[in-house]
Homo-oligomer: A and B are copies of this chain.
Amino acid sequence: MTGWIAIAGLGPGDEALITPEVTAALAQATDIVGYTPYVARVAPREGLTLHASDNRVELERAAHALAMAAAGQRVIVVSSGDPGVFAMAAAVFEALEQGPTEWRDLDIRVLPGITAMLAASARAGAPLGHDFCAINLSDNLKPWGLIERRLRLAAEADFAMAFYNPRSKARPKGFGRVLDILREACGGERLILFARAVCTPQEALHIVPLRDATPDMADMRTMVIVGSSQTRLIDRSGTPILYTPRRHDPASP
C-alpha cells in the first residue's frame, strides 16, 4: 500500500460548503488528524481512525500525520475553512522541512476549502469586492509590533481588511488596541463587520461604524472585516447589504 497525506479544508461549518474533492478524499482515508472540533466534523466509519488533538500542537500533529503517511497510511489533516489560510498547510510544510528527508517524497496534496473571510463576505454582501488584505491578529507567532505596522500600512493602502483570530482568552487586550489604531487611521465612520460562527446555526452578523465598535463584539469564532473608504451599506427591509464597489473613486470619501 502506498501512503499519502492530504491537508483538507472543511469550509466554515455547513456541510453544503465542503467540496466534492474533500468528500472523496475523506472516503479514501485511513486516518484523520486535526484539532478536536474539526475532527468531530468527520463521520466515523469502519477502517477510519480519528486522531483528535488540542489547539497549539500544530507541529506535533503535522509530524504525526507525516509519519503515518510515510508508514503507508492514507492520512488527511483537516482544517476548518481553507487549509492554506492561517491553518494546517503551513504547519505540515514546516514539519516536512524539519523532518527526515524521505518524507519529502511523499504524495502530499492541499485540498482547498471555503475560508472564513469569503463565507463571512458572502453572508454580508461583498465587502471584499475590491483589493483587500488578510491579517491574523494573533501574536503567538509574530511580534505585536508587526501587526500594528501592517494595520497602519493596510489603512494607508485603503485595503479592506479581513481579520482572523481577533481575540481569545489568552489575548484579551490586543483587539481593543487594533480598534484604536483603525479608528485613528480610518476614522470613526468606517464600517466594520463582526461575523460570528458564519454558516452554522449560531451565525450572527453585526455591522457598525468603527466609532461604535467594542472589543467584546469579537471572540474566537468571529471573523472581522473592516471596509475600505469605499465600502458602504445598501439599506433594505431586513439586514442591509455591505459591499465594496469594483470602482475606486479617488474623490470619495
Residues of A within 8 A of B (CB): 11, 14-21, 24, 58, 82-87, 89-91, 93-94, 96-97, 104-105, 108-115, 118-119, 121-123, 125-136, 141-143, 146, 149-150, 153-154, 156-159, 234-237, 241, 243-248, 250
Contacts and interface: CB of A to CB of B under 8 A. Distances in A.
Contacts of A157: 133, 149-150, 153-154, 157
Nearest to A20: B16
B83 A110 contact: no
Contacts of A150: 131, 157-159
Most buried by B among A19, A91, A108, A235: A19
Contact of A110 (B84, B94, B126): B126
Contact of A131 (B17, B135, B246): B135
Nearest to A94: B245
Contacts of A149: 157
B82 A142 contact: no
Given A104-B236, A112-B114, A90 B243 contact: yes
A84 B132 CA distance: 11
A89 B111 CA distance: 25
Given A108-B241, A133-B132, A84 B118 contact: yes
A135 to B, nearest CB: 5
Given A24-B16, A131-B134, A245-B90, A111 B122 contact: yes
A96 B241 contact: yes
Chain B CB within 10 Å, residue with most, of A18, A108, A112, A132: A112
Across the A-B interface, the 9 shortest Cβ-Cβ residue pairs: A90-B129, A133-B133, A89-B126, A142-B248, A110-B122, A104-B236, A16-B21, A153-B157, A93-B243
Given A123-B110, A131-B134, A133-B134, A248 B93 contact: no
A131 to B, nearest CB: 5
Contacts of A86: 129-130, 246
Contact of A104 (B19, B104, B235): B235
Contact of A90 (B94, B113, B136, B246): B246
A126 B93 contact: yes
B21 A19 contact: no
Contacts of A235: 104
Contacts of A118: 82, 84-85, 112, 115
